[in-house]
Amino acid sequence: MTTQHVTIIMIEDDKGHARLIEKNIRRAGVQNEIVPFGDGTSACRYLFGADGSGASHAGRALLILLDLNLPDMTGVDILRRLKANEYLKRAPVVILTTTDDRQEIQRCYDLGCNVYITKPVDYENFAHSIRQLGLFFSVIQVPENG
């Protein structure tokens, strides 16, 4: 069975939420590498690289879990930058946040987020969201019959 290795980038400043999200991801059967960031600055440095172009991630399969309320910048700003970048714009972005404001949700979808999940995260909803993104079979190793 061949699967493209998807790296999960988790941008979440609350350590408790980050642990819970990771636990839920694992409980949903996803074993992929999770690269955690506690603030937007370090996440952007990683995503866009030293030169700021994002070219270092060209061709890599990334799934980005993004909190909107970060200590140093807003998740909306990061989302806007991701979707404007030629190398990163196709990476699916799942917004995980406590904000359930309709206008904020609409703004995130308008900017290109794929899924908007309000915390606390329900792991079945999360697994369903991954399936909706069409990544389900690339992030979860399904044993072959035989």
pLDDT one digit per residue (tens) for the chain, 146 residues: 344 578 999 999 999 989 988 887 887 777 889 999 999 999 999 999 999 999 999 888 899 999 999 999 999 999 999 999 999 999 999 998 888 899 999 999 999 999 898 877 777 777 777 666 655 545 555 445 44
pTM for this one? 0.85
* pLDDT for position 1: 37
Preceding amide of 120 cis, omega within 30: yes
The DSSP letter of residue 88 is: T
The predicted pLDDT at position 124 comes to: 77
Question: Residue 34: how many CA atoms within 13 Å on its side-chain side?
Answer: 19
